[in-house]
Structure 1
Amino acid sequence: MKIRALFFLITILCFSCEVSKGPISRIYTTSPYPPLSELPMKDDVYADQTYSRLKPSYSFLDEVDLFTFSYEVEGHIVLGYGARPKGQSRLPTIIYSRGGTYENGRWNYGTAAVRLGELAARGYTVLTYEYGQSINDVAADEMGGYDTIYLSTLIELAGQVPGADRKKIGLYGWSRGGMMTFQALREEFPQVKAAVVGGAPTNFRALLEDRPLFDPIFQKMIPGYAENREEELSHRSAVDFVGELPEDVPILILHGEADNKVRVEQAQELAALLEEKSLPHQLLVYPGGDHGISGQRKDVLESADAWFRAYLK
């Protein structure tokens, strides 16, 4: 009930701001999280049913402030989640782009708290945003089309979030979010200093060959796909626009060797092209790792943190 009330409050706040259409607006008032003890994930993170003591592996949640925020993209009010260390002021900012399509993969309060909190506790303000859904209507989710403006707008507005450093921004994307990250990198934002991608599809022609089930999904999601299939696939394939990537943004590529959703050969192909162009990068392949490298999450977190610490701190 309180969660619904919070979303209702955000809605009222946003509509009271006299939304006008335009490519870039502003961050609206941030709102605090509901108590973690009221969320469905409470039994996973708390040590007992008094919900007063976190399990040791989730102790980082005691170290961070969690919040929600919203911002405007051409009249759409986009929802976001954020985390920052308690008692800290201006910190390097990481913008996380999640995986998934439509409702598949959408984050809730619990998922966002854990995924953002574990990184924020290491000394960052971490933000994420939702694709294809806003408070005042449902916007198009074009799997790397119109929805890319959600990320580019947040990059421009991130400095308005309390605790975020607008001049030191890192991009972190997983799976589909990795593709979104590459789309943003080709725009060459000077405030973006480093990027980490994991399990990212970087060759959509190869993705379709391996997983033909994506064809009807793309038919539904991508405008003009039926008429301009090759053009639309190329637009979303980083291997086709390596030459447009910035020369001064180092990219860490993480991939599971046993990934059965996006084959590791895609990461290896992209790394070879980056090497050919002398673009700064590193490829880490995790033996036996699945699409989310779920069995080695601690190592993944350590690698991402070390990368951002080297280039953002």
Structure 2
Amino acid sequence: MRRSSSFVLLAALLLALAGAARAADGDILARTTMAVPADAPYVAEQIIYESDGLRIAGFLSYPKSAPAGPARLPCVIWNRGGNREFGAITPAFFLARAARLASWGYVLFASNYRGAPGSEGREEFGGADVNDVLNGLRVFDQLPFADQARIGMWGHSRGGMMTYLALTRSDRIRAAIVGAGPTDLARWIRERPEMESEVAAELVPQWATQRSKAIAERSALRFVERLPKNVPMLLMHGSADKRVNPRDSMDMAQALFASQRPFRLLIVEGADHTFSERPDDYNLAARDWLDRYVRDRAPLPDLTPHGR
């Protein structure tokens, strides 16, 4: 009888431990190899990872030589734009970007954030979904060929907003790139009222009662002083962008200059929101920035007035 009771207690303990043990944030829960051309020099995978107890869809790529390579590779986390299905990462979109980043020698990870296709949870357009970006950084920790000390972050449009927010909460990013990123949501809404009625009001929690607070929390111009001083930022914007006013990047550059933070501003004349007419300008500038500050770990520039 005593032995039977011991077995019952042991079984109950094991059951309790099993129930208590859940995946940690950033843990890769599933990996599926994606189909790529036979001669492609990279591997691509669709993954599911843990974030705040949610299963989030992500995409991972790396050069074919990476698993057997003697040296760890620099990494980039890509932050998508749009909201919900609009702008969500598709296999075709990711593979095109994977081919480019792999040819540059980088491990690439991208997330579809919570509430987007393939991901659990509810999107908050710059709220708790920023955790999906931060927890995505931990994916690199599980890859033996990824250099966790060399991580860059690249966000476009809404992904730029996510990048600014992530930079205030992580010290793991060596350099950042923001393409056509909104930095003043009040202006964005004035110029595009549908961004409030069709996006913010539907996604941001308590928008009706916390509107001003939510705008401030998502507008990088309001929290420049919380951005790290040791992360160089490349801001790129097309001068003919109809979705996000180019002044958002110009004003941000002014604020970064005034607060003595390292940055570079590239305004591409006549380019639209996605740089469709000038993709080389966009990608070449991004590669130079990543190679300089992430791959090669170049020292920060001297921002004090100097020289002849």
TM (norm. structure 1) is: 0.82
Deviation at residue 188 of structure 1 after TM alignment:
3.4
Letter in 1 for 2:213: E
1: distance between equivalents of 2:45 and 2:119? Answer: 22
> Within the alignment, does 1:138 sit opposite 2:120 as a pair?
yes
Partner of 1:12: none
- Deviation of 1:132 after TM superposition, in Å, equals 2.4
Q: Which residue identity is paired with 1:71?
A: Y
Tell whether the 8 Å contact from 2:76 to 2:106 is kept in structure 1 after alignment.
yes
- The separation in 2 between residues aligned to 1:283 and 1:305, in whole angstroms, is 15
| Alpha-carbon separation, structure 1, partners of 2:182 and 2:20 | 35
Q: What's the counterpart of residue 44 of structure 1?
A: none
1:87 aligns with 2:65: yes
- Structure with higher Rg: it is 2
Shift of 1:219: 0.9
Q: Deviations over 1:76-100 (max 9, x none)?
A: 1111111111213421110000111
Q: Read off the aligned partner of 1:243 and give its amino acid letter.
A: E
SS in structure 1 at match of 2:114: strand
Matched, 1:200 2:181: yes
Q: For each residue in 1:26-77, what CA deviation from the matched residue of structure 2 results, as whole angstroms up to 9, or x when unmatched?
A: 12353211345xxxxxxxxxxxxxxx7xxxxxxxx72211112221112211
Read off the aligned partner of 1:289 and give its amino acid letter: A
Matched AA of 2:27: R
8 Å CA contact 1:77–1:135 kept in 2: the answer is no
1:296 and 1:108 map into 2 onto residues whose CA distance is 22
After superposition, what is the alpha-carbon deviation per residue over 1:151-188, rounded to whole angstroms, capped at 9, x for unaligned? 01111332213532111110000000000000000113
Q: Structure 2 CA distance, aligned partners of 1:30 and 1:274? A: 39
Matches of 2:94 and 2:84, distance apart in 1? 17
Aligned partner of 1:160 in structure 2 is 142
Please tell me whether residue 150 in structure 1 is matched to residue 137 in structure 2: no
The answer to whether structure 1 residue 129 and structure 2 residue 129 are counterparts is no
Question: Which residue of structure 2 lines up, in the alignment, with residue 288 of structure 1?
Answer: 270
User: In structure 1, how many angstroms separate the alpha carbons of the residues matched to 2:118 and 2:82?
Assistant: 22
Aligned residues: 273
Check 1:158–1:101 CA distance in 2 against 1; reply closer, same or farther (3 A cut). same
Tell me the SS of whatever aligns to 2:112: strand
Aligned to 1:182: 164
Q: Over residues 206-257 of structure 1, what are the superposed CA-to-partner deviations in whole Å (9 max), with x where a residue is unaligned?
A: 1001100111121110001110111100100000000000010000000000
Specify which of 208, 224, 228 is matched with residue 226 of structure 1.
Answer: 208
**Residue matched to 1:65:** 43
Residues 109 and 137 from structure 1, CA distance in 2 versus in 1: closer, same or farther, beyond 3 angstroms? closer
1:115 counterpart SS class: helix
Q: Deviations over 1:112-166 (max 9, x none)?
A: 1002221221110011011224798731110000110000111133221353211
Amino acid at match of 1:215: E
Deviation at 1:24, TM superposition (A): 1.9
The C-alpha deviation readout for 1:265-292, integer Å capped at 9, x for no partner, is: 1100000000000100000000001001
- Corresponding residue for residue 257 of structure 1: 239
Q: 1:72 to 1:272 in 2, by over 3 A?
A: same
Distance 1:99 1:206 in 2: 18
Distance 1:227 1:33 in 2: 44
- Name the CA distance, whole Å, in 2 between partners of 1:271 and 1:278: 10
Report the alpha carbon displacement of residue 296 of structure 1 after superposing the two structures with TM.
1.2
Q: For 1:19 and 1:137, locate their aligned partners in 2 and report how far apart those are by CA, in whole Å.
A: 23
The one-letter amino acid of 2:47's match is F
Distance 1:164 1:308, change over 3 A: same
CA distance in 2, matches of 1:137, 1:239: 30
Divergent runs of 4+, >6 A:
134-137
Q: Could you tell me whether the CA contact under 8 Å between 1:188 and 1:245 is conserved in 2?
A: no
Structure 1 residues 254 and 234: alpha-carbon distance in aligned structure 2, compared to 1, 3 A threshold: same
Deviates more, 1:251-260 or 1:109-118: 109-118
Q: How does 1:234-273 map to 2 (within 5 A)?
A: 234-273=216-255
Partners of 1:104 and 1:162 lie apart in 2 by 34
Conservation of the 8 A alpha-carbon contact between 1:198 and 1:253: yes
- Percent identity between matched residues is 30
Answer yes or no: is the 8 Å Cα contact 2:26–2:138 preserved in 1: no
Q: Which residue of 2 aligns with 1:74?
A: 52
Matching residue within 275, 289, 298 for 1:307: 289
> What is aligned with 1:213?
194
Aligned to 2:153: 171
Separation in 1, partners of 2:118, 2:271: 39
**Matched residue type, 1:232:** A
Query: What is the CA–CA distance in structure 1 between the aligned matches of 2:194 and 2:54, rounded to whole Å?
Result: 30
